[in-house]
Structure 1
Amino acid sequence: MLVAFTLLIVFGFFPALFGYIASVRGSEKKRIWYRQRTQAIKGWTANEFSLAAFVTSTALLYAAFFLTSIGMKLDIMTGLGLLLLSCFSAIAYLCCYWKIPAIVAKYGGLLKALLGAVAIGVATLSKIYSDEGIAELTGLPPQGLPGAQLLLTFLLTPIIWFLGMSLSLGYLSLPVISFLFLRSLYRDYREKKDGIKNESSLRDVAALVAVFFAVIIMLMLNEKIVSKSFYEPRLKQAIVFASFHLPTSYCGLVDTRRAQVVPMSDGKAAIAIPDGKLGYTFDVIDCKPKNKSSDEVNAMLEKSNSIQQTEVSSISPVQERVDSKKG
């Protein structure tokens, strides 16, 4: 399917595109028409640019769904990128439609105080959930893994912001959609009654679709993020990356690839063992690192002293020549 689609693009779309470009360049009337359209686009407002971006991203998303339906496989990151692009463009259009920047400029002080309080709450929740996640996923005390505490708190902060925004928009979407629907009906009625074309009704419909798309996409991503099959292996990998740095040979065990340990108190250690389904499994083991004997330490010290004496003896002739030149 991918080969057929590539051949269609190369031998069908590109020749037609180049032929149309040549036709436009050879026609004075078409060049004037495109020049007028270009000048009109330069005069667009932020509302019109955001609407064009939303329509384009939505068209790309539908094109990706169509390609998937006919059997073409798309990379998961490509699909996620198109979903996020459509979601963010919808939110950008809604911000322009509701004139959010003007509202922020007018009530900036109050909004900053509100966001500050929310940010403190989010930071507190991220710390609580990071400790809960470590205890749930590893069965270990969170205070014994300070690196994992720090990393999980950092990772959970934007996730909690996103989940809170998606849930808030989900609850607000029902009255907003009802309001926009009734508003568009009223403006259509006024347009038919007065006989004057009103572009506001079209923008109301676009805002209605943007709210629907933004809420649906954010709730879909929300459901994916909170599913245990998604977050459990990734959080375990983050915990191992942040706190488990020593090989199993540190505790006198067989050196195993990807299995790592972290020392705990009272002669114990935690071990992370790779697992095909769960990512990692964790357990507490006895760990008493092998101490070197006094003879081994003395041998190491003598070796260090001999190396230092060799370095000093090699530097002394050079220093004598420098002193003789100064004299």
Structure 2
Amino acid sequence: MLAAFTLLIVFGFLPALFGYIANVRGSLEKCTWYYQQTQAVKGWTVNEYSLAAFFTSTTLLYAAGSLTLIGMKLNLMSGLGLLLLSCLTALAYLCCYWKIPVIVAKYGGPLKALLGAVAIGVATLSKIYSDAGIAELTGLSPQDLPGAQLLLTFLLTPTIWFLGLSLSLGYLSLPVIAILFLRSVYRDFRKKKDGEKNGSNLRDVAALVAVFFSVIILLSLTEKIASKDFYEPRLKQAIVFASFHLPTSYCGLTDTKGVQVVPMSDDRAAIAIPHEKLGYTFELIDCKPKNKGSDEVNAILEKTNSIQK
């Protein structure tokens, strides 16, 4: 499919583009018109630039979706990147539309206090969920895996922020969509009543679409992240990366590629075994490392001294 798409670009789109450019350069009227449009773009406000970015990213998203109809599917990262780009540009346009920076500057003190309280709450929830995740996914005590506690708390903090903001925007979207719709209808009615023929509700309609797009994308990503099939193998991989560092030979077992061990108290250890679907499975085993005798230690020390001399 990639080869077919490349051929379409090289032998279809590019010749048509170069031909159109040559046609424009040969026409004084078209050159003048494009020059005027360029000067107009330079005079755009931030609101208009954000609207253009949202329109462009949404067009790219629809174009990528139309490619799937002819069998040319994008890879996961490309599709996710387009979704995030559309969501971010939609949120950026909504920030400009609602004049969020002005509101933040006006009520900066109370908002900072509220944000600080929420940040403390998120940090607390991250610690709670990290301990609960370790206990649920491994069956081990979180206190026996301090490295995993630290890493999962670090990973869950932005995740909880994202999920909380997504759900909050999802609940707020219902009254916001209703307000935007009624506002657009009211402005339409006023323009018709006042006899305005050149008025446009483009910004109101774009804000309505931006709310819908951003909420749908955020809630879809939230549903994906919150599914057990998504987070379970990834959290298990993070736990193994943070705490399981020793080979199986540490406990006198046969060395096995990918299998890692973490020692615990009372002559015990936990072993992480790779699993195709679950990422890892965990087992608690007896583990008493073999201690070296005094003769072996003396031999090692003598060898070290000889090397240093």
Instruction: Please indicate the TM-score interval, normalised by the length of the shorter structure.
Output: over 0.9
Amino acid at match of 2:3: V
Match of 2:252 in 1: 252
Are the aligned partners of 2:270 and 2:283 in contact in 1 as well (CA < 8 Å)? Answer: yes
Q: CA deviation at 1:189?
A: 1.3
Q: Relative to 1, partners in 2 of residues 1:12 and 1:212: Cα closer, same or farther, differing over 3 Å?
A: same
The structure with the larger Rg is 1
Superposed CA deviations along residues 235-285 of structure 1, whole A, max 9, x for unmatched, are 000000000000111111010001000000000001000011111000111
Match of 2:232 in 1: 232
Q: CA deviation at 1:300?
A: 1.2
Are the aligned partners of 1:251 and 1:287 in contact in 2 as well (CA < 8 Å)? Answer: yes
**In structure 1, distance between residues paired with 2:128 and 2:163:** 16
Match of 2:144 in 1: 144
**In structure 1, the residue corresponding to 2:201 is in which secondary structure?**
helix
Match of 1:87 in 2: 87
Q: Relative to 1, partners in 2 of residues 1:199 and 1:110: Cα closer, same or farther, differing over 3 Å?
A: farther
**In structure 1, distance between residues paired with 2:287 and 2:306:** 34
Amino acid at match of 2:105: A
Match of 2:294 in 1: 294
TM-score (norm 2): 0.98
**In structure 1, distance between residues paired with 2:148 and 2:240:** 8
Match of 2:113 in 1: 113
User: In the alignment, does 2:90 pair up with 1:98?
Assistant: no
Q: CA deviation at 1:64?
A: 1.0
Q: CA deviation at 1:290?
A: 1.2
**In structure 1, distance between residues paired with 2:28 and 2:158:** 53
Q: CA deviation at 1:199?
A: 4.9
Amino acid at match of 2:303: K
Match of 2:76 in 1: 76
Q: CA deviation at 1:5?
A: 2.5
Q: CA deviation at 1:188?
A: 1.1
Q: Relative to 1, partners in 2 of residues 1:4 and 1:303: Cα closer, same or farther, differing over 3 Å?
A: closer
List structure 1 runs of 4+ shifted beyond 6 angstroms.
none
**In structure 1, distance between residues paired with 2:63 and 2:107:** 41
User: In the alignment, does 2:59 pair up with 1:59?
Assistant: yes
**In structure 2, the residue corresponding to 1:246 is in which secondary structure?**
coil
Match of 1:320 in 2: none
**In structure 1, distance between residues paired with 2:307 and 2:2:** 65
Structure 1 unpaired stretches of 5+: 310-327
Q: CA deviation at 1:201?
A: 2.1
User: In the alignment, does 2:220 pair up with 1:220?
Assistant: yes
Are the aligned partners of 1:187 and 1:198 in contact in 2 as well (CA < 8 Å)? Answer: no
Are the aligned partners of 2:148 and 2:242 in contact in 1 as well (CA < 8 Å)? Answer: yes
**In structure 2, the residue corresponding to 1:255 is in which secondary structure?**
coil
**In structure 2, distance between residues paired with 1:204 and 1:306:** 82
**In structure 2, distance between residues paired with 1:208 and 1:56:** 16
Amino acid at match of 1:211: V
Amino acid at match of 1:31: C
Q: CA deviation at 1:62?
A: 0.6
Are the aligned partners of 1:244 and 1:262 in contact in 2 as well (CA < 8 Å)? Answer: yes
Are the aligned partners of 1:166 and 1:219 in contact in 2 as well (CA < 8 Å)? Answer: yes
Equivalent pairs: percent with the same residue? Answer: 81
Amino acid at match of 1:59: T
Q: Relative to 1, partners in 2 of residues 1:184 and 1:164: Cα closer, same or farther, differing over 3 Å?
A: same
**In structure 1, distance between residues paired with 2:130 and 2:268:** 23
TM-score (norm 1): 0.92
Are the aligned partners of 1:166 and 1:218 in contact in 2 as well (CA < 8 Å)? Answer: yes
**In structure 1, distance between residues paired with 2:184 and 2:202:** 8
Are the aligned partners of 1:187 and 1:200 in contact in 2 as well (CA < 8 Å)? Answer: no
Match of 1:32 in 2: 32
Match of 2:135 in 1: 135
Amino acid at match of 2:206: A
**In structure 1, distance between residues paired with 2:290 and 2:182:** 77
> How many residues are matched?
309
Worse-superposed segment, 257-266 or 68-77: 68-77
**In structure 1, distance between residues paired with 2:303 and 2:12:** 75
Q: CA deviation at 1:70?
A: 1.8
Are the aligned partners of 1:184 and 1:202 in contact in 2 as well (CA < 8 Å)? Answer: no
**In structure 2, distance between residues paired with 1:154 and 1:280:** 21
**In structure 2, distance between residues paired with 1:236 and 1:104:** 40
Amino acid at match of 2:15: P
